[in-house]
Amino acid sequence: MQTITLKLKDAVMSEIAAVPVEVDALTPDKLFGKSEAELKAVKVWWGNKQEATGDLFDVSMEGDAGSADEVKIVFEGDLRRVKRIGEGMKAGEIEARGDVDMHCGAMMEGGKVVVKGNADCWGGREMRGGELIIEGDAEDNFCAMYRGEEKGMTGGKVTVDGNAGECVGQYMAGGEILIKGNVDRLAGLSMSGGKITIEGDAELFGADMTGGEVVVKGKVLEMMPSFRFVETATVDGVEYKKYLGDFAMGEKKAKGTLYVR
């Protein structure tokens, strides 16, 4: 097992306008096999300039890895303007100690990302596999598609311990999302597959849904009017009202399922 600790230097965020750092080049699969000197030389975007990792982060490495699966990267320091943590990663583990900026875990294919804080918008965007855990809150468009695309998350497993913003799982086509808190409006918008479980409250979820499943265990603040009640169903020993929809998409396409209390 190898642990790479990357602590963002205080100076990087010391300007009045904190210029974001994009770290999609710093994933276990991309850093596996690199020496400390090689790692420090990896280029990352800082605003519109490419800088060496060693110039922006204090780097330390411990242990050895036989494959990318055995590499763990720990991000430390003020990560509020650090974007694309774990974007596109295929294996290994990333732990971010603090709040992170947008696109955390976007397009992940494998491995595991744990954020010990909040994640800004577009976390888990177009995720294909692996596991993403946000121990705080997630913002808007969590596990959604890129703007304009017709598919969002297609695989993997995601857990948010806190609340999530608008449009969780927009255009979701596969995978599983568990939100332990509340979600803002339009969870599962245009969803075609996969499963979203919301333990807290939710509002206007499932709009334009053509497949997949949304389970809301808390309060339904407002229900989409275009779903039809089917039956009362028991899931994991709890009784739910089962709805089908969204009929706004036409009779044939209304294959989405909602379970509400």
With a CB cutoff of 8 Å and minimum separation 6, the contacts of 103 are 24, 83, 84, 85, 87, 122, 123, 125
3-state secondary structure of 207: coil
Nearer residue to another protein within complex by CB, 12 or 107: 107
Nearer residue to another protein within complex by CB, 21 or 73: 21
Q: What would the two tokens of residue 76 be?
A: 């430390």
Provide, rounded to whole angstroms, the least separation between the CB of residue 48 and another protein.
8
Instruction: Give the span between the Cα atoms of 31 and 26, in whole angstroms.
Output: 6
261, amino acid identity: R
Provide, rounded to whole angstroms, the least separation between the CB of residue 250 and another protein.
10
By the 8 A CB rule, do 177 and 168 touch?
A: yes
Provide, rounded to whole angstroms, the least separation between the CB of residue 149 and another protein.
5
Nearer residue to another protein within complex by CB, 150 or 231: 150
Instruction: Give the span between the Cα atoms of 227 and 202, in whole angstroms.
Output: 15
Write out the residues near another protein by the rule CB under 8 A. 146-150
Provide, rounded to whole angstroms, the least separation between the CB of residue 147 and another protein.
4
Partners of 149 in the beta sheet? none
Nearer residue to another protein within complex by CB, 79 or 254: 254
